[in-house]
Structure 1
Amino acid sequence: MAVMQADDEDLWARIRRGFKMPDLDTWRARQTTRWYADKPQYIERISTRASMYLYHIVAEVEKRGMPTEIALLPFIESGMQPNAVSIAKAAGLWQFIPSTGTKYALEQNMWKDERFGVIESTRAALDYLQKLYGEFGDWQLALAAYNYGELGVERAIANARRHHRSTAYKDLHLPHETEFYVPKLQAIKNIIADPQRYGITLPEIPDRPYFVSEDIPADMDVATAARLAEIPIDEFQALNPAFNRPLIIGASSPTILLPADHAEAFETNLVAVEATGQPMASWTAHVMRRGETLEILAQKANLSVNELRRVNRIPSRYRPAAGSVILVPRGEAVTDDISPKLVDASFSLVPVVPRMRRIAYRVHHGDTLSSIAHHWHVRTHDIMAWNRLHSSRLRVGQRLALNVWNGGNPPHQRVRHSRHHPLHHYSHHHHRRHRRARHPCRSCLASAS
């Protein structure tokens, strides 16, 4: 645990002074506070992760005159994990889905996804929250809309007015997850406001910037950037999770985040490397030609096919389509960095087996990955790869992309079907109850960490 210098103020104290939202004193808030208070190790874990990002978030919140409770929202959205991805494909500290990320100018391409970026996603989230507060005039309603969507909250308010009921957040009829959303933020606020009351020891976080920004002048491997900064690659990736590939391309004018006390080392080492004239990248871009295969490219590059797949995030049983841009080793003959024309390069995947087709499947009550995979004669880990799932939990109504055989069963497999649809034979009451709710149950705690 970090030890602060004598002239450093604790960031937690600064956050407490900025609390402005009215407290939510409901049974849900009290229940959720007890739930978190009973798990001091979990609170310590997410608070320690927060030490890298929290100063920046608090500073941005204060610049806008927003209550500092907003800076605690990533605690419940992502557990302060910038690389978090939900089943609904929400990503990053603030959990933006792709469409909302695009709406709030978060760049998403094969090279980077700014929904994961600490600075970019914080800017977008605060823009969105300010818009919601301007619409509803109440922070609790704005937070509910951040979770449920503006239209959902507007419908709940309209319904309450029709029945002459209160339109306060705590009195609205909302989905279970949204009913627990603001109470969870209140619970985190309660613990941070008075950790001793709940037997919690918060890690000390100095009230000073953890990271600084540095420009990248040319193509550079992620591993090279970490080496120049003299930090472990895991720490570099925790500060820069937006990069989708092991290469940072200079044509996009990128900036990276580095620990403030390592910026000088990075700048000194960068000057020394540039003086040698040697490239700082070991990868370059290659446009797939019709008929070209990963096996051919791997053989030319003296690289295993599995490594080529890993670098380019290509799951098994898939291949890049013609015209897709992938990374290949940069040979000595390559002197130029990747062209600016490839910043928005195309990258699409097609099934290796042409007799497969893609369908959209809507999850029903009782469905599991195993039951869906069994019915469509595919593998569960392929379903997870196709949909970028990081958990086997599903929610009713969720849409899954499946690649299934045109003829029904794979050619090597004949399956006898029962008269009843196999997907409706399985009931998973416990996780169905908690699937939509972010209020975690005990068996779900591990997934929250």
Structure 2
Amino acid sequence: MKAFVLFQWSENRTPTRWLTAGLLALLPITAYADNPRDTLQVHGFLSQALVITDHNNFFGTSSENAGSLEYTELGLNASFRPHRKILVAAQVLSRRAGGETSDAEPTLDYGVIDYQMTSNPSRTLGVQVGRFKNPFGLYNQTRDVAFTRPSILLPQSIYFDRTRALGLAADGVNVYWEEHTSAGTLRFRSGLGQPQTGAELTRQLFNGRSSDVTTSEPSAIAQLLFEDSTGQWVAALSTATVNLETSLGGNDADFEFQPWIASLQYNAEHWNLTAEYALRQQALNGDNLPRTFDITGESWYVQYQRRFTPSWSGMVRFDRLINDTDDRTGQRYEQSGLGPAYSQFADDLTLGVQWMPTSRLMLAGEYHIVDGTGWLPTQDNPDARETRQHWNMLLFQLSLRF
């Protein structure tokens, strides 16, 4: 995985990419010690957030009392090089985002054996075997580490937290290729493997109507990314094909999901502008299903970030989600008796600020003004009819790393 983050700045007055300790382990390292134990690296991170909403719930009962503290991320990773061309790396993650306490049980976030067949100043070619992070948009590979995110929550129209397991990682084979030229760097990554499912995904898909969700066959994902030689422009195109087996209304069904994401980012001296646009084709096939499910969803956001001082930065973002481009207002969905019309879309205006007094400590806060509940977690809001269309959310987060 060649993960990158493009929203921090260096002191030399140019935008720079930096990686958190949790992902440094997956970068190619040309140096190799005689003793593999000398290449061992161990890092970790911890984040705790407070979520407060006036209506609806997000990551726990956030609309009651003083809010919810049920948003916690704790990770520990290690890597070493038994050979100059081989990297072994893994990360264990404990994450709770609402739900039951048992949801925070540690799981393998990623675990790969990385073999680089070619590594020189002009070209890198390698393959990973194991559980790899999916190359999806600009932030998916680093989304679990708060220091790599431009905000406490990523744009929910593309980086869904309620179904994050589906797009987060896969068990299989991942290949990567980088070509360095005078114009810039071209990166290609592609993976074939079994996506993660589990109880959380079962609860969230189809408004909780599915009784089980499993992988039916390997899914594929690919990304082509170009970064110019100055580091100012980054453009990427990502796509995937996901196939799942589920049961809806007591009948077996096959769920097919194919997203396309176009990403563009411009980095200036003290600010950057990021935009991503996605189309999501979804189909549910089977006999005697209680409803048809063959739709195309649309998502996009525009995000502006600015560094005020070396330790302070701010962000403003508009994020839009449409579940069905043929039913943008959700009226047909409501008329079919499936739920409120506003559950089929969401417009989110976000204002955020981050303060990093040291390189190992970050405090962040952000405010969301939301119209619609299209990405609201089902587990926190089991009855969609009791939700509100217009709602607001305030988040605070403390993050540490070592």
The one of the two structures with greater contact order (alpha-carbon pairs below 8 A, sep at least 6) is 1
TM-score (norm: length of structure 1): 0.23
Q: So what's the TM-score if we normalise by structure 2? A: 0.25
Q: Which has the larger radius of gyration?
A: 1
Q: Which has the higher strand share?
A: 2
